[in-house]
Amino acid sequence: MKDLREWIVALRGIGELTEVHAEVDPHLEITEIADRVMKAGGPALLFTNVKGSSMPVLINQFGSERRMAMGLGGTDLDEIAARIANIAEMQPPQGVMQKVKALGTLRELASLGTKTVKTGPCQEVVLTGDDVNLDLVPILHCWPQDGGPFVTLPLVFSHDPTTGARNCGMYRVQKVDRRTCMMHWQIHKDGRQHLLNAEGRVPVAVAIGTDPAITYAATAPLPPALDEMMLAGFLRGKHVEMVKAVTQDITVPANAEMVIEGYVDAADLGDEGPFGDHTGFYTPVDQYPRFHVTGLTMRRDAIYSTTIVGMPPMEDYWLGKATERLFLPLIKMTVPDLVDMNLPLQGVFHNCAIVSVKKRYPGHAKKLINAVWGLGLLSLTRCVIVVDHDIDVRDVSQVAFRAFSNVDAGRDVLIMDGPVDALDHAAPYAAYGAKIGFDATAKWDGEGIVRPWPDEIRMSDEVRQRVDARWADLGIHLPGA
């Protein structure tokens, strides 16, 4: 898809978009409406009559697996993950035909980067200097105790002042006034590192309202050396067109709905928050850099794309689920012991990871726990649960049964101190606390057992198949069948 407009047309075409023409208030009211729709698994919403603004507001565009996968060019998330796995598992070609095929794949990947163009729809309207006015944008005040309106679906572009590498991340932006915001660059994020590496101002551009692949790419946990726009190009099957910003030396997606341009300075900090976060709790006021806005560019009839976060389930669950499935092939390259992974809804991304292992030796599950704590942002996971390979990690009931049944507190629990998510309110210190791992696998000799481990109760395959074949003749109707 080229832009947000095509995505809206696609959502409308499959009946996954509801247009609301009644007047709605961006101060709390849109949140209450969207929260009910998200928790019911409802459609994307396009509010066309927003109080105090001429801009429509799009929300909940990613609020189901169907929409999430469709936005990334697939029918389901595992299908898209398989495409990534095919690239990740490329081996040095042996024969002539293999070399030709590999060369074609590499050429395709090389063509999916970015292309700089002279101008783009995002600059049809240009406001600079005293003309900049963020009051034109219907930025949501989401929850009652929030410190103000927050841009919650921003694509924040910056460059590492040391290497020049581009980063695009999704960091909330609090509006302070017409030309000032706060930039929520947490301690573990690449943008924060750019700020620490800088000797002065860091140019920043915040793009809002792009096609779904570009928007998703901003949330992806890529290492600093990899460009999020290349991932977006791979997902959408076409390079991303970028255009130079008007007031800052930085490029932005040419087809975005709007771009907020400006700069931050490590020496210019202020209060940011509180904010009703994806954890289901408010994060308190803390010191973050001011984002001084030098330009606001947009389409003539711009659409404001946003989301809300809070007590799950919310739309952001599906963004996180996409990352879980799409990055699993890459994680398995680093940790081949890992069979499958689930970041459950109740864990709000960083509180719990359920993983499975095909054990080959005593202590294998504990090795996997430590491996997870050494993997990028998964290192911040507060709780890791390991089950055997034949357990469906997405069946939380089955996982809970193993955790409650198989874990001995003195033998199967690992506790260690280390970095935790900056939003972890239970940690005794900011971004530092204790993490726990549970080995919920069946125990082997050599893993601290002094009596035989019992077999699980399971019917034989022969009897199960015989009953399956006879079921229609039995006249028994099961609820939900």
Two structure tokens written together for 5: 């407009």
Q: How far is CA 86 from CA 90, 105, 330, 333, in A?
A: 6, 10, 10, 12
Output phi, psi for 367, to 5 deg. -60, -40
Give the residue among 207, 190, 206 at the shortest CA–CA distance from 198.
190
Parallel/antiparallel/unpaired status of strands 150-151 and 155-159 = unpaired
Query: Alpha helix locations (H) across 281-391?
Result: 316-334, 364-372
> Which residue pairs, CB below 8 angstroms and at least 24 apart, start in 117-120?
117/241, 117/242, 117/243, 117/254, 118/243, 119/243, 119/254, 120/241, 120/243, 120/253, 120/254, 120/255, 120/256
For residue 307, with 0-12 CB atoms within 10 Å meaning exposed, 13-18 middle and 19 or more buried, which class applies? buried
Give the residue among 383, 441, 440 at the shortest CA–CA distance from 415.
383
Two structure tokens written together for 246: 């008007």
State yes or no: is 277 an active-site residue.
Answer: yes
Give the residue among 316, 312, 401 at the shortest CA–CA distance from 354.
401
DSSP structure class, residue 427: S
Two structure tokens written together for 330: 């890459």
Longest dimension (CA), the chain: 78
Number of neighbouring beta carbons within 10 Å of residue 380: 22
Give the residue among 227, 234, 232, 181 at the shortest CA–CA distance from 210.
232
Distance CA 481, CA 476 (A): 10
Q: Which of 227, 277, 412, 424 is catalytic?
A: 277
Two structure tokens written together for 383: 């709780």
- Listed in sequence order, the residues at least 6 apart from 264 whose beta carbon sits closer than 8 Å to its beta carbon are 183, 185, 195, 201, 202, 204, 289, 290, 291, 292
Two structure tokens written together for 390: 């034949």
Cβ–Cβ under 8 Å, residues 212 and 71: yes
464-473 burial, b at 16+ Cβ within 10 Å, e below that, comes to eeeeeeeeee
Catalytic positions are 277
